[in-house]
Structure 1
């Protein structure tokens, strides 16, 4: 039996003569694209001339990298490809970090770039770069459109490829002469669906045999669960089987932290109970995860007693880093539905993991009067509830969000996982709020990453996008400083950000409401003010520059060798 993914609808394009640029806009409208994020320039100007007359909303960002990050978060939340638009040369190259981010985190995206006219390609023309070649290692597919008649098919196929199977970014490069040329009979896309083979019966049978014979089974949940929208099914299976679970950074929210089976995040900054369970387990049931080095630590010492049932849509991941005793390839929902999770006697195991979870639960009784970021983040997420969405930058605060925030679903946790790109938080929050206007969307940033895309405060102001910004300011590149403290003999090289601007004044200059706090007794009122704000708002929170993220698995060490804070 084959499993057919849902094909995108065939775009209905006007039959009257249209320019290539008009066909771009017509096709986006026909495919139901609600908004695109972009920045104009010479080689994409014909599309911008046409987009003013289309139905698709355009959001003018202030840097092309922000367009890609906003499209990324839009794709994570909706499951539909987010769209970013840029001109040739520097416009296109500024998209590259965001495209790489989507590729490494398996996010559906369509990046549309202008290109110099075909007659000038290869001549080192003004603002010419080979964006097709530059992005080849970081896209799922790419194309240069040579004929305006091919535009509807090229774009429809781009969306189908980006959204099917293991999602990812697709690049469509449009030479300027193709945008300007007139076409009377555009090609029609026939809507061929992506075909996924059903999981192998032999692999299913072996998975069931391993599960039934295990006394210490453990679910290992990754970002693929979110991409396949399989969280509800996974929760039901966990609850019916009673098998405990851990999650990767991208898998957080598949089970909320209060779920009795959820032991927390595994890996370098994972929860001790989660890492202990992995190391003691005799069977890992890996669902939509790829054995990333930040999750496994020293791979040779990772889960040394465990057999592996690996369930993934991408056959390339099965056995790539860890031998899979049962390699189940296919759509996650179909694969999970095919497996009978009939387990053996695991009562002693579940009692042990539950006891470790209680014994090693995080503590929030930090001494002093300063603001303890983990406690504030936990309180904020719990007070907002199921509507909480966090678009997180990269650094110490990213790990605190992962360790301490409550997420009701994995799509609510937006973070740059595989690439670890600073500057992600604010533009990602913009994309998230436009994707889900009724959710409480927070950009949670550090003072380093925030300044990498600080110009997007202007985007918030222009469109009145009510994103709430929680800026944790330790006047440091905190995670780099922590590593320099622990592994480089305290040689604090180029991490001092004590000359930061007054962030409240900066926000005010952009027309954004802002306030600052630094004492613990101010936290509750600050959270209330953030939640109740009707427009964009920034809370500048000063925290201790010497506070570290714990636990920590040292580089090159096993996950069993966690370092912890001395109290």
Structure 2
């Protein structure tokens, strides 16, 4: 069944407005405060209309940076992220950011200018069919033909972006439509549908949970997206069932909480992976059985039935057959299940939970690695503890991404922002910008590598221009570390094109952009360096030199199940 609430909207009542002015005023009415973008010829009328508006535009130095910043802003704020670019290369530069939002289910509206309708299809200057290019990467897209349609289209785009399973929506505005005057803008009155499962389905889920002897709660990114984090935590507390999370769900259950075993998957904890493999029931909340989480799918949790909660019906049974599929909004469905569980007898899984608490304690990571080099896992663990509950990690992609996931402490899902599904290097720096603007009082730290930072290093200019007090922790091993690690173990140590030893001096680079910077080279410098990083009032970069040979452990090799993990001592001893 479906609960309905109305979404009201009233177009601006001014006389004649241009399409560009109408777009800006509509964004204002929808409560948009922050826009990321880069101007150009085909979107110039919109930028003309931005002047004097209530919108704060942040000029990024590359359209990909604008898309990533809008993505991160949306993840942290819970609002729809907005970015804009001109036609041709401006629009195509947004594509990676659009794909990133699509794969991680982030609500985003991307506005592109285009050539005038009269020259479309003639290969005119900077003409690209951006609707065609992005068709597989968006929830929906629009080519606006008339200025009067702009309020209705924008309202509908925002509704689509944030309803159901969120994602990006593209609005393409030809230049003539931006100039066109209209005095009769059209709005919409859209219902906001909240899908709720039938009580009989919730009862089936309850019965399966009560019958299970080895259940595991498997939390995915949908828990945060749907606002169901408190319901997930209540379920965990009510049942005492061991819990694991995916990369995009970190923080949904606070690190260190009783019965929380950590992240599962390729670089998951031994306790998380082993518990899932030995379970007889998986209660899956907002996850999609991604290959990085499951390992060899055919051997994933072979004895487990599945209860799958998801708002997207296409995910139910897509990769794993289910015993009970609970389709709809996670929050009311979990709340209904929690009520039933609270009203009945206690779930008896204490022996099972005790087993995995003991295993988790037995396999806890040690941070006392020998030598005087900086040990990245220890540094990152200390960083999150020093930063406190206001910590937000805006993480790039690579070895450091996995170290952050494994070793940082997170108290809420908004504290961990990363490119999960797309795994896009270059995400970290613009993501830090978006996160800091979304939560100005948070301790936002971009954690990046020497490979990832170079992909959008121009956004240091954005940080400097707007004096965004972002803290940047750059781990430099002079390598494409994750690729090097795979070449070491799976490509016979053929280290092909992973040497980045000709990196620039990142301290000098940051200082050239007007940003304070310093270097950490030895372990005895770590604590003081982190304290300096966290105490800075303005933007600051810490360049940390780490061992080029350091690997991420544990690791599930390709083609293996999650119980067949490689560990440092055994794997490196074989070389």
TM class by shorter chain equals: over 0.9
Alignment of 1:59-138 (within 5 A): 59-138=58-137
The equivalent of 1:358 in structure 2 is 361
Task: Work out the CA distance in 2 between the residues paired with 1:7 and 1:565.
Answer: 56
Matched, 1:465 2:462: no
- Which residue of 1 is the match for residue 542 of structure 2? 539
Per-residue deviation, 1:209: 1.2
How big is the shift at 1:286? 0.2
Report the 3-state secondary structure (helix = DSSP H, G, I; strand = E; otherwise coil) of the residue aligned with 2:102. Answer: helix
For 1:189-204, list aligned pairs within 5 A.
Answer: 189-190=188-189, 192-204=190-202
Deviates more, 1:192-201 or 1:521-530: 192-201
Q: Which runs of 5+ in 1 are unaligned?
A: none
Pair 1:469–1:8, CA change in 2 (3 A): farther
Q: Distance in 1 between matches of 2:347 and 2:13?
A: 61
Which residue number in structure 1 is paired with residue 398 of structure 2?
395
Once superposed, which parts of structure 1, at least 4 consecutive aligned residues long, lie more than 6 Å away?
A: none
2:430 aligned with 1:427: yes
Aligned residues: 565
Q: So what's the TM-score if we normalise by structure 1?
A: 0.98
Contact 2:63 2:94 in 1 (8 A): yes
Tell me, in whole angstroms, the C-alpha distance in 2 between the residues paired with 1:536 and 1:8: 40
CA–CA distance in structure 2, aligned partners of residues 345 and 215 of structure 1: 8
The answer to whether the 8 A contact 1:9-1:31 is kept is no
Query: For 1:211-267, what per-residue CA distance to the aligned partner results, in whole angstroms no more than 9, with x for missing partners?
Result: 010011110000001101211121122112111100000011011111012100000
User: CA offsets, 1:111-133, max 9 Å, x none?
Assistant: 00001101111111110111001
Residues 528-557 of structure 1: CA deviation (Å, up to 9, x unaligned): 111110000000000000000000000111
1:51 equivalent in alignment to 2:50: yes
Residues 277-335 of structure 1 deviation map (CA, whole Å, 9 limit, x = unaligned): 00011100000100000000000100011000000111110000001110000110111
Match of 1:316 in 2: 314
SS at match of 1:58: strand
Separation (CA, whole Å) in 2 of partners of 1:344 and 1:180: 64
Instruction: Choose from 297, 301, 304 the match for 2:302.
Output: 304
Aligned to 1:239: 237
Paired residue secondary structure (2:569): coil
Listed as ranges, the gaps of 5+ residues in structure 2 are 571-575
1:446 is displaced (CA, Å) by 0.3
TM-score (structure 2 length as normaliser): 0.97
Checking the alignment, whether the CA contact within 8 Å between 2:79 and 2:107 is kept in structure 1 is yes
- Counterpart in the other structure of 2:458: 455
Q: Residue 97 of structure 1 aligns to a residue in which SS?
A: helix
CA distance, structure 2, for counterparts of residue 8 and residue 459 of structure 1: 35
Report the Cα distance in structure 1 between the residues aligned to 2:406 and 2:26, rounded to whole angstroms: 42
Q: Are the counterparts in 1 of residues 72 and 417 from structure 2 also a CA contact under 8 Å? A: yes
Which residue does 2:573 correspond to in 1? none
Contact 2:471–2:540 (CA<8 Å) still a contact in 1?
A: yes
Q: Report the alpha carbon displacement of residue 386 of structure 1 after superposing the two structures with TM.
A: 1.0
